[in-house]
Structure 1
Amino acid sequence: MAELLSHVLVAYVCFTVASWKLDWLTKRWVAVGTIGALLPDLNRIGLFVSDASLEAAFGVPFRIGAIHTLGGTLLLAGVGAVVVADEHRRAFGVLLAGGLSHLFVDALKVYADGAAGAWLYPVTWLRHPTPNLYVSSDPWVLLSAGALAAVVASIDRYRTR
């Protein structure tokens, strides 16, 4: 859970800072971007539903792990953009940017074999070497993301007065 919250906080920081320069990036779109940061972790549904049951439901071969890739994020951002009542293209871009922030942060964490996951699928199956900057279960990751988000939120509140 801490990792999921840290992804949301990182996206909040990125979108809020970007909103200081981009007039169209209102609080609504910052919220949509933070939701986009949750998209890659929808692969956690695999804890409750098997790939075989999803294959039976959809009628096509399905791997739930593919959601935590560039292709899965593109697909989910497209579905999310269709759900938005207006401004589908902007919703797609903001959801995708949130998902990409999630994938980028995950590309920096420690993996046992020293290579990140194949998050660039369907572009490539390449598993790039990771800089091993953090372990996702370390408390300092959440604490630093929370502290940074608190600083940005207070600056943003001061700017809107």
Structure 2
Amino acid sequence: MAEWLTHVFLAYALFTVVGWSVDWLDAKWVAVGIVGSILPDLDRLDLVVSEELITAATGVPFEWSGINSLGGVVVLSAIGALLFEHGKNQRRAFVLLFSGSLSHLVVDLPQRYADGLMLTNTYLFPLPPWRPPTPGWYVSADQWVVVVALVVALVVFGIDRYRPADTRPAVAERAD
């Protein structure tokens, strides 16, 4: 749970700060980016539905691990973007879902692993495997990581909330 919170807090901070410069990136779109930040961890659905069950039901070999990769998040972002009505909104949704997913993968890269190498071989699928050394800054169970992410999110929230109104992007009224 702490790992998911870390990704959510950091995505909130990232997309909120980007929203200060991009007119259309309001709170609704920030939420889409936050959803993207947890897409790579959908591979944990294997705890609920086994790969064997899906393979037996569909007759097609299936693995959940492909979701936690560059190729997997492209597919999930495209599927998520289809939930939006207009082409412009679909493109925005894809960019935000993919960016949120990419932020997740990047934040996970400097984790400490037993062999001392990054997990880029799985993240970069379907690209060729490459595993440089990891700086080993943290393990996913470290509690201080979520505390740092929370502090960053709170600072950004405070700045965003108390910014002068004239520095906020103008939000166009929706015509119904």
Find 2:153's aligned residue among 136, 146, 149: 149
Q: Which residue of 2 aligns with 1:90?
A: 92
TM-score by length of 2: 0.87
1:121 is displaced (CA, Å) by 0.6
Q: Which residue of 1 aligns with 2:47?
A: 47
1:115 is displaced (CA, Å) by 1.4
Shift in alpha-carbon separation, 1:32–1:160, aligned structure 2, 3 A: farther
Residue 118 of structure 2 aligns with an amino acid whose one-letter code is A
Percent identity among equivalent residues? 49
1:119 is displaced (CA, Å) by 0.6
Residue correspondence of structure 1 range 5-24 to structure 2 within 5 A: 5-24=5-24
1:160 is displaced (CA, Å) by 5.9
Residue correspondence of structure 1 range 76-115 to structure 2 within 5 A: 76-86=76-86, 87-115=89-117
Task: Write out the 4+ residue segments of structure 1 that deviate beyond 3 Å after TM superposition.
Answer: none
My pick for the range that moved more, 41-50 or 56-65, is 56-65
**Partner Cα separation in structure 2 for residue 9 and residue 56 of structure 1:** 38
**Partner Cα separation in structure 1 for residue 63 and residue 52 of structure 2:** 9
The structure having more radius of gyration, on CA atoms, is: 2
TM-score by length of 1: 0.95
1:72 is displaced (CA, Å) by 0.7
Residue-pair matches, total: 161
Residue correspondence of structure 1 range 21-36 to structure 2 within 5 A: 21-36=21-36
Shift in alpha-carbon separation, 1:56–1:146, aligned structure 2, 3 A: same
Q: Which residue of 2 aligns with 1:73?
A: 73
**Partner Cα separation in structure 2 for residue 12 and residue 70 of structure 1:** 21
**Where does structure 2 lack aligned partners over 5 or more consecutive residues?**
166-176
**Partner Cα separation in structure 1 for residue 154 and residue 45 of structure 2:** 30
Residue 157 of structure 2 aligns with an amino acid whose one-letter code is A
Q: Which residue of 1 aligns with 2:137?
A: 133
1:154 is displaced (CA, Å) by 0.7
**Partner Cα separation in structure 1 for residue 74 and residue 160 of structure 2:** 30
**Where does structure 1 lack aligned partners over 5 or more consecutive residues?**
none
Q: CA RMSD in A?
A: 1.2
Residue 143 of structure 2 aligns with an amino acid whose one-letter code is P
Residue 47 of structure 2 aligns with an amino acid whose one-letter code is L
**Deviation by residue 1:75-127 (Cα, 9 ceiling, x = unmatched):** 11011001122311111011000000000001111111111222111122222
